[in-house]
C-alpha cells in the first residue's frame, strides 16, 4: 500500500480509508515509541503526520504549570533557526485558538483560517485559505496537558470530521508518550539524586575526618594518602590483619579523581586460581562447564575506577604471570576469548605477608613485586600506637550507638583497661570487644567490668615494654562513687589499704564497697 496516499481520499470504499488510517496510526505509534527524547520524538511524529496523513505545519504545545501557559514543544515545516525563536511563543489559557482548546478541553475546527478572528498567527506560518484543526492532548486525569494542531492540505470541508477524529487519536498517543517519558525522566532524576546522595555519604564515611589517629606514624600515613590519591599510582597497603587496610583503599579511591567511577573489591585468598582468573578477567559463553553466558570480570567492572585486590600475597606463581600483564599493559582476554580488551583501572593491593621474604624464597615474582610496590603504605599495629586507643574506642562506640539506636558511653576505667591490652587482632579486635561489651550493658555505660579481653594469650614482648601512655585527664568530681573507687584502686595497684588512704576511708569501708558494687579485683 502506498503510504504517501492521503488517508482521507474520497470515494465509496470506506474500508480502504479506515485501513489507511490504521496504517498511519501504526507508523506514528512506532515513531512515538522509538526514543525517550521528547522533543526528537515529537518532531518525528509531526514529520510522519505531514508525509503520511497530509496534515502540514503540525505543532505540539504543552502546558507549563509553573508559568501557567502553553509553550511550543515541537513544530514541523519551520527552519531550524526559526524553531529557536518559536520556542519562546506562549499562549495563556483561553487566549487564541490554542488557549481556547486548552481551556475548554474540546477540539476546535476552523473551516477557513481567514474567517476566525481568534486565530492569532503568531508563527506567521499557516495558509489563510485553508482549514485549521486544533485538538487537546489528554492527561492521566482527562484534563488536557497540551494541544496538537495542524493544517490540512485540502480545503474540502467534508473531510474535516474524519481528519479531526484522526488527530484526536494521534493526540491520545502523544498524551501517553508524554506521560511515559515524563515518568521515566522523573525516576531517572530520583535515581541520580539517590546516587549522588549515596556518593556523598560514602565519601563522608571514607573521608579523612573518619580516620582516627594522632600518633606521628598515623599522621604520616594520612599525608601519604592525600598525596597518592591525586594520581593513578599503584598502591600496596601493608600491615597486620585487622589494621584497616581496606579502609585505606576506600579512602584513596573516594578522595581521588576517580571517585565517581566504580570501586571494585576482591579478596584473592578466597578463590582458587581457576575461579580467580574468571572472576578477575571474566569469561566467554561456553568457556567451561557452567559458563552459560558471557560474564565481565572485576577489571572490566572497575573500568574508569579503582580495583582493590586484598591478600595479594596469597596468589599462586602461575597466576602472578597473568596478573602482571594487565598491570603492565592494561590489556587482558576473557577466559575462553580471543579479543584483547583494554581497561583503565587504578590498582590498589594489600597484604599482611612479608613480600620481600616471599621473593627471596621464590614464592612471589620479583617483577610483579616491583610493579605492585610503587607506593607502599605501611600500617602500624595497634599495640604500636596505644595513644590512639582512647580516641579510636570512642569513635567506634559512636558507630555502635548509631547501629544500636541508643547512646553508649565508656568509662575512664574501661579506657585504661583497653590501653593496657596488647591487641593481637588490632583495630578489628578492638571493635569486636566494644560491640561485645555494649551488648552486655543494659544502661549504655561500658565500664571495666563489661570489657572481656583474651587474657589467656601470652602478651608479646613489645607489648610488655611499650612506652607509657598518657591518657586524657578526667574530672574525678564528675565521676560516680563506683568509678572513683575503681580509679583509686588502679592508682594504688589494686591494694585496698592504699586505695582507702587515697579516698580517706578505712580498709573495711573499701572492702564493703567493693563487695556491694560488684567490682572485679585485678590480681597483680
| Blockwise average pLDDT, block size 10, the chain, 524 residues | 45 52 84 85 89 88 89 82 71 90 92 90 86 92 89 87 90 90 86 78 66 85 91 93 90 90 91 86 85 89 94 89 88 88 94 93 93 94 91 92 91 88 92 92 87 60 39 46 81 84 83 79 63
Long-range contact pairs involving 281-285 (C-beta distance under 8 Å, separation at least 24): 281/322, 281/326, 281/332, 281/333, 281/334, 281/335, 282/334, 282/335, 283/334, 283/335, 283/336, 283/337, 284/334, 284/335, 284/336, 284/337
Say if strands 295-296 and 341-342 run parallel, antiparallel, or are unpaired. Answer: unpaired
Q: Would you state the cell numbers that stand for residue 206, as one nine-digit string? A: 571514607
Q: Which of 53, 79, 66 is nearest to 148 (CA)?
A: 53
CA distance 329 to 345: 11
Q: Which fold has domain 223-380?
A: Rossmann fold (3.40.50)
Edge-to-edge strand order for the sheet containing 90-91?
90-91, 69-75, 55-64, 144-152, 132-138, 108-110
Architecture of the domain made up of 478-524: Orthogonal Bundle (1.10)
Q: Can you give the pLDDT at residue 460?
A: 40
DSSP bridge partners of 109: 133
Q: Can you give the pLDDT at residue 466?
A: 39
Q: Can you give the pLDDT at residue 134?
A: 95
Domain spans in the chain, listed from the N-terminal domain onward: 14-184, 223-380, 478-524
**What backbone torsions phi and psi does residue 495 show, to the nearest 5 degrees?**
-95, 115
Q: Which CATH class is domain 14-184?
A: alpha beta
> Residues 237, 250: contact at Cβ < 8 Å?
no
Q: Helix, strand, or coil here: 272?
A: coil
Burial 3-35 (b: 16+ CB within 10 A, else e): eeebbbeeeeeeeebeebbebbbebbbebbeee
- Sign of CA pseudo-dihedral 402, 404, 405, 406: negative
**What backbone torsions phi and psi does residue 152 show, to the nearest 5 degrees?**
-65, 150
Model pTM? 0.60
Could you please report the per-residue DSSP string of 68-100? TEEEEEEESSS-HHHHHHHTT-EE-TTSHHHHH
Q: Can you give the pLDDT at residue 17?
A: 66
Q: Would you state the cell numbers that stand for residue 401, as one nine-digit string? A: 550507638
> Residues 27, 53: contact at Cβ < 8 Å?
no
| Count of all residues that appear for the chain in the document | 524
* Alpha helices per DSSP H over 206-282: 216-228, 245-254, 273-281
Amino acid at each position: 500500500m502506498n503510504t504517501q496516499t492521503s488517508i482521507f481520499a474520497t470515494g465509496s470504499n470506506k474500508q480502504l480509508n479506515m485501513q489507511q488510517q490504521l496504517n498511519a496510526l501504526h507508523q506514528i505509534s512506532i515513531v512515538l515509541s522509538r526514543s525517550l527524547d521528547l522533543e526528537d520524538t515529537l518532531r518525528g511524529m509531526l514529520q510522519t503526520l505531514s508525509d503520511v496523513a497530509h496534515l502540514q505545519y503540525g505543532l505540539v504545545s504543552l502546558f507549563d504549570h509553573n508559568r501557567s501557559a502553553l509553550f511550543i514543544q515541537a513544530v514541523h515545516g519551520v527552519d531550524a533557526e526559526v524553531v529557536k525563536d518559536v520556542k519562546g511563543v506562549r499562549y495563556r489559557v483561553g487566549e487564541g485558538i490554542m488557549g481556547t482548546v486548552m481551556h475548554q478541553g474540546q477540539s476546535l475546527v476552523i473551516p477557513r483560517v481567514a474567517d476566525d478572528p481568534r486565530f492569532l498567527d503568531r508563527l506567521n506560518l499557516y495558509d489563510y485559505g485553508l482549514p485549521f484543526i486544533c485538538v487537546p492532548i489528554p492527561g492521566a486525569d482527562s484534563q488536557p496537558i497540551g494541544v496538537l494542531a495542524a493544517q490540512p492540505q485540502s480545503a474540502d470541508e467534508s473531510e474535516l470530521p474524519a481528519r479531526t477524529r484522526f488527530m484526536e487519536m494521534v493526540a491520545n498517543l502523544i498524551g501517553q508518550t508524554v506521560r511515559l517519558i515524563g515518568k521515566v525522566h522523573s525516576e531517572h532524576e530520583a535515581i541520580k539524586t539517590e546516587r549522588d546522595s549515596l556518593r556523598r555519604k560514602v565519601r563522608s564515611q571514607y573521608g579523612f575526618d573518619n580516620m582516627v589517629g594522632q600518633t606521628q606514624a598515623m599522621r604520616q600515613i594520612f599525608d601519604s594518602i592525600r598525596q597518592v590519591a591525586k594520581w593513578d599510582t599503584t598502591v600496596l597497603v601493608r600491615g597486620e590483619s585487622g589494621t584497616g587496610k581496606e579502609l585505606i583503599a576506600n579512602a584513596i579511591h573516594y578522595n581521588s579523581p576517580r571517585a565517581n567511577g566504580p570501586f571494585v573489591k576482591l579478596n584473592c585468598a578466597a578463590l582458587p586460581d581457576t575461579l580467580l582468573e574468571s572472576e578477575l578477567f571474566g569469561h566467554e559463553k561456553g568457556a567451561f562447564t557452567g559458563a552459560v553466558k558471557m560474564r565481565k570480570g572485576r577489571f572490566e567492572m572497575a573500568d574508569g575506577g579503582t580495583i582493590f585486590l586484598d591478600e595479594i600475597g596469597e596468589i599462586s606463581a602461575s597466576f602472578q604471570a597473568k596478573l602482571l600483564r594487565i598491570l603492565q599493559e592494561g590489556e587482558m582476554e576473557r577466559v575462553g576469548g580471543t579479543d584483547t580488551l583494554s581497561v583503565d583501572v587504578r590498582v590498589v593491593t594489600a597484604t599482611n605477608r612479608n613480600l620481600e621474604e616471599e621473593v627471596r624464597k621464590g614464592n612471589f615474582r620479583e617483577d610483579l613485586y616491583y610493579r605492585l610496590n610503587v607506593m607502599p603504605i605501611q600500617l602500624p599495629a595497634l599495640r604500636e600506637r596505644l595513644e590512639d586507643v582512647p580516641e579510636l574506642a570512642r569513635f567506634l562506640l559512636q558507630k555502635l550507638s548509631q547501629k544500636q539506636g541508643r547512646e553508649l558511653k565508656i568509662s575512664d576505667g574501661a579506657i585504661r583497661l583497653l590501653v593496657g591490652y596488647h591487641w593481637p587482632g588490632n583495630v578489628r579486635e578492638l571493635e569486636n570487644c566494644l560491640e561485645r561489651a555494649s551488648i552486655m550493658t543494659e544502661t549504655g555505660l561500658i565500664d571495666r567490668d563489661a570489657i572481656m579481653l583474651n587474657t589467656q594469650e601470652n602478651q608479646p614482648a613489645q607489648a610488655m615494654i611499650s612506652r607509657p601512655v598518657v591518657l586524657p585527664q578526667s574530672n574525678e568530681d564528675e565521676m560516680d562513687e563506683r568509678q572513683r573507687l575503681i580509679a583509686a584502686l588502679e592508682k594504688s595497684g589494686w591494694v585496698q589499704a592504699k586505695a582507702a588512704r587515697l579516698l580517706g576511708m578505712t580498709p573495711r569501708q573499701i572492702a564493703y564497697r567493693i563487695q556491694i558494687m560488684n567490682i572485679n579485683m585485678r590480681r597483680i
